[in-house]
Amino acid sequence: MTDVKTPSKLEKILAAGHLAVTSECGPPRGSDPEVITKKAEMIKDHVDAINITDNQTSVTRMCSLASCIHLKQMGLEPVLQMVTRDRNRIALQSDILGAASFDIYNILCLSGDHQSFGDCPQGQNVHDIDSMQLIQTVRHMRDEGKFLGGDDIKRPPQMFVGAAANPFADPFEIRVPRLAKKIAAGVEFIQTQCIYNLDKFEKWMELARDRGLHEKVYILAGLTPLKSAGMAKYMKNRVPGMDVPDDVVKRMADTPKEKQSEEGIKICIESILRLKEVQGVAGFHIMAIEWEEKVPGIVEETGLYPRPTLE
Amino acid sequence: MIVADKKPIEEIIEYLKGKQNILILGCNECVTVCEAGGKKEVGVLASALRMYFQNQGEDVKIDEVTLERQCDHEYLEEIRDRVDQYDAVVSLACGVGVQFMAEKYHSTHIYPGVNTCFLGATEERGLWTERCQACGQCILATTGGICPVSRCAKRLLNGPCGGSTTGKCEVKKGDEEIDCGWQLIVDRLQALDRLDEYETLCPVKDWSTDRAGGPRKVIREDLKQ
């Protein structure tokens, strides 16, 4: 896994054996670029790469690609999130080339939340290809230098290819086979769903290790600090595929309201410290939703700061 | 079969404003089975319309006919000698029947009386569910006989997505939960002792035989005369 195939800084850091740290910024529901650049300013010295979400929860926002370009212009390392919900294979390949023209070196291939959750529930979804096939597509474009249609690409994209994995969704018996399938499709790094059930995550990692999958893909453990007991309950009950154990909800609820956000950060830090010891965890993806200012503290408190510099 | 559902009568009344001679035309096939457009529904709709127009003080003649099929020339011919006496025909057939009528009888106003919904099955009386989207290239051999194109809200060929929870899809229809199509596929592969096949990647699909390729035809030279 140590061969570096792209100019991606994230790939180089992982290949050098460092625990990587990534975070994410959600683009605004408007065209003000400062929303993105301000969020990025808050976290840029504490992370190796910054994901830009692609119309997350199916709510229409500034596009991921344009937001990534803003980051690139700040000299930062973006991870272009791309969902298969809104674009067919022509548009996906076209946007990949567009991103590559700005030397965006990381992509995260996703299917995307269903449009019924967002602001256009009456809209169509595309799903011409799925997230696994998007992984295959990017690898094909990069490694073969060809479009899906078979023609040559002049200056192919050089992208480090990622995907999501949810160790907590059902059916559990195919969670690890599904990871193996993504690896077979060509995925090179994984950012997981937010982890609150550490026992279950560790079980998933163990099953992945049993098949040697941790040696075939870099797994970044996903963490989202809880802001309040209300958020913990909402995540537990309302967010599909999310596993928030009762003891986590109770710990938040038992904390006085004014101290709950602090407690949420504390849980996040404890989780990272524990997961740092799990064999096969290659880094952390800290998704502090509209709470980017907390990322530096979490990174520092967990001994992940300073971030490595590359030659 | 093709599953359809009755249109609200208010919508049908709106089409028929100012019409004097109306034919309600049923179909004895799929729409009869799903109780949306067979002889019985023709009768119910005709009675309701008669009552409505009578209450409005309008003298409107409403006839009822139910054909064996509306998607075949031979059955549609049965009304050729009388269709001209109507200034509106409400077809309770699926969209195919409505269009076949419109193509055949150019000068008659044809209105749909049902919403054509999907290709599905009768689970129980009053409950029909989708099974097929007629993509034109059946992949059921690889998915244990359960179709991800029609049963997954994202038609994922390599599912499930992260939204599958306790066998249910992240998408709901009102308060109704939907089974996760991929949970069904995994359960089925497991029951057949074929779960290892789950890890075979399904390649990018050729959708040119689906809606995307434009209006489709099946041509069988061996059957043509």
Q: Cβ–Cβ of A85/B154 closer than 8 Å?
A: yes
Give B26-44 pLDDT, tens digit per residue.
999 999 999 999 999 999 9
Q: Domain ranges in chain B?
A: 2-118, 133-208
Instruction: Give the A-side interface with B, CB within 8 Å.
Output: 84-85, 89, 111-114, 116-117, 125, 127-133, 136-137, 148, 164, 166, 169-171, 173-174, 177, 180-181, 184-185, 193, 240-241
Nearest to A132 among B165, B180, B201 (CB): B201
CA nearest B101: which of B85, B83, B115? B83
Whether A70 shows a pLDDT value over 90: the answer reads: yes
Confidence band for A240, pLDDT divided at 50, 70 and 90: confident
Residue-level pLDDT at A170: 86
Q: Cβ–Cβ of B156/A127 closer than 8 Å?
A: yes
- Looking at chain A, the whole-number percentage of residues with pLDDT higher than 70 is 99
Based on the number of CB atoms within 10 Å of its own CB, is B118 exposed (0-12), middle (13-18) or buried (19 or more)?
middle
Q: Cβ–Cβ of B160/A137 closer than 8 Å?
A: no
- Those residues whose C-beta lies under 8 Å from the C-beta of residue B170, and which sit 6 or more positions away, are A113, A114, A117, A240, A241, B153, B161, B163, B164
In chain A the domains, ranked by start, together with CATH numbers, are: 9-301 (3.20.20.220)
Structural contact between residues A61 and A27, judged by C-beta atoms closer than 8 angstroms: yes
Whether A206 shows a pLDDT value over 70: the answer reads: yes
Work out whether strand B114-124 and strand B127-132 pair parallel, antiparallel, or are unpaired. Answer: antiparallel
Residue-level pLDDT at A2: 66
Q: Cβ–Cβ of B207/A128 closer than 8 Å?
A: yes
Q: Cβ–Cβ of A241/B187 closer than 8 Å?
A: no
Q: Give the mean model confidence (pLDDT) for residues A243-267.
A: 97
Q: Cβ–Cβ of B158/A181 closer than 8 Å?
A: yes
Task: Give, for all 225 residues of chain B, the pLDDT tens digit.
Answer: 999 999 999 999 999 999 999 999 999 999 999 999 999 999 999 999 999 999 999 999 999 999 999 999 999 999 999 999 999 999 999 999 999 999 999 999 999 999 999 999 999 999 999 999 999 999 999 999 999 999 999 999 999 999 888 999 999 888 889 999 999 999 999 999 999 999 999 999 999 999 999 999 999 999 987
Q: What are phi and psi of A78, to 5 degrees?
A: -85, 155
Residue-level pLDDT at A28: 97
Give A46-57 pLDDT, tens digit per residue.
999 999 999 999
Nearest to B164 among A127, A148, A170 (CB): A170
B186 has a chain A CB within 8 A of its CB: yes
B161 has a chain A CB within 8 A of its CB: yes
Confidence band for A119, pLDDT divided at 50, 70 and 90: very high
Whether A310 shows a pLDDT value over 90: the answer reads: no
Highest CATH level, class, for B2-118: alpha beta
Q: Cβ–Cβ of A169/B161 closer than 8 Å?
A: yes
More confident position, A3 or B156? B156
DSSP chain B: -EEEEEPPHHHHHHHHTT-SEEEEEEESSHHHHTTSSSHHHHHHHHHHHHHHHHHTT---EEEEEEES-SSSHHHHGGGTTTGGG-SEEEE-S-HHHHHHHHHH-TTS-EEE-EEEEEEEEEEETTEEEEEE---SS--GGGTTT--HHHHSTT--TT---TT-BTTEEEEEETTEEEE-HHHHHHHHHHHTT-GGGGGSPPPPP-GGGSGGG-S-----TTT--
Q: What are phi and psi of B62, to 5 degrees?
A: -125, 120
Residue-level pLDDT at B174: 83
Confidence band for A215, pLDDT divided at 50, 70 and 90: very high
More confident position, A310 or B160? B160
Q: What are phi and psi of B217, to 5 degrees?
A: -135, 150
Whether A311 shows a pLDDT value over 80: the answer reads: no
- Looking at chain B, the whole-number percentage of residues with pLDDT higher than 90 is 95
Q: Which two tokens stand for residue B199?
A: 């890890």
